């Protein structure tokens, strides 16, 4: 049978080890997330700010509405940023304002067709439509909730995305072209959506 002093030593060692694990986890969160204070501006795209959501990605901080009542989403989730960006920078209001990030891509919709819920043309990953600046990009993953971001820049071999609640706020991803088709690498990309262009006027002016 173990002596009382031996048991005390074992308990102390166990507490020290558990404390080290907790401290290590805190350092890890700091290193990957940089900040712990939610609601501070960490980036911008076309004067639309990206806010820090804090270290726990599935925590929200209340619903966010535009001044006219349009629902932007839960502060400061990824969906809130993309809807706020499209609303403030592009003047786009989605017909359906609800759903997790993954629901913004309709897997049953053919390539190049209108996504009625979002009011945007949808293009699939690996299709013949190159992503453009200002497109909404949708990823799977994140525990089944998915993730969304805005494409900020496009070159022949790379795209830069801006995102909320998934550090870093700005991230570059490889863009691959093969046989006239386009694929964004590195993440489980589903596709991208684009605000429809207004039809060209056929009015004849004298």
Give the C-alpha separation, 72 to 87, whole Å: 8
Give the pLDDT of residue 38: 72
Contact yes or no for 133/153 (Cβ under 8 A): yes
Give the pLDDT of residue 6: 52
Domains of the chain, CATH where assigned: 41-194 (3.90.1720.10)
Give the C-alpha separation, 105 to 117, whole Å: 10
Q: Is the dihedral of CA 163, 151, 192, 140 positive or negative?
A: negative
Give the pLDDT of residue 202: 53
pTM: 0.78
CB atoms within 10 A of CB 119: 16
Q: What is the CA radius of gyration of the chain?
A: 22
Q: Say which residues have a Cβ less than 8 Å from residue 196's Cβ, sequence separation at least 6.
A: 114, 119, 120, 121
Report residue 180 as tokens: 């006239």
Give the pLDDT of residue 58: 73
Give the C-alpha separation, 59 to 75, whole Å: 9
Instruction: Chunk the chain into consecutive blocks of 10 residues (it has 206) and report each block's average pLDDT, rounded to whole numbers.
Output: 49 43 36 55 96 81 94 96 98 97 97 98 97 97 90 97 95 95 90 89 54
Half-sphere exposure in the Cβ direction for 191 (13 Å, CA)? 25
- Grouping H, G, I as helix, E, B as strand and the rest as coil, residue 30 is helix
Beta pairing partners, 113: 122
Give the pLDDT of residue 118: 98
Task: Kindly state the helix (H) or strand (E) to which residue 175 belongs, with its residue range.
Answer: strand 170-178
Give the C-alpha separation, 26 to 166, whole Å: 17
Give the pLDDT of residue 61: 84
Q: How far apart are the first and last CA of the chain?
A: 105
Report residue 186 as tokens: 């590195």
Any idea which residue has 């494409």 for tokens?
151
Contact yes or no for 129/177 (Cβ under 8 A): no
């Amino acid at each position: 049978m173990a002596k009382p002093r031996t048991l005390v030593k074992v308990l102390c060692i166990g507490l020290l080890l558990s404390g080290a694990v907790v401290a290590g986890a805190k350092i890890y969160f700091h290193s990957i997330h940089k900040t712990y204070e939610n609601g501070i501006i960490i980036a911008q795209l076309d004067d639309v700010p990206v806010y820090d959501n804090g270290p726990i990605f599935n925590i929200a901080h209340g619903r966010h509405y535009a001044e006219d009542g349009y629902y932007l989403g839960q502060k400061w989730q990824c969906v809130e940023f993309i809807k706020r960006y499209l609303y403030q920078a592009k003047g786009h209001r989605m017909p359906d304002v609800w759903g997790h990030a993954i629901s913004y891509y309709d897997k049953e919709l053919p390539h190049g067709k209108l996504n009625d819920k979002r009011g945007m043309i949808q293009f699939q990953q690996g299709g013949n439509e190159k992503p453009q600046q200002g497109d909404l990009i949708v990823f799977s993953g994140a525990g089944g909730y998915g993730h969304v971001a805005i494409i900020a820049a496009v070159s022949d071999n790379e795209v830069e995305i801006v995102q909320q609640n998934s550090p870093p706020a700005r991230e570059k991803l490889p863009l691959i072209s093969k046989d006239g088709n386009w694929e964004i690498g590195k993440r489980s990309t589903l596709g991208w959506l684009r605000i429809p262009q207004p039809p060209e006027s056929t009015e004849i002016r004298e």
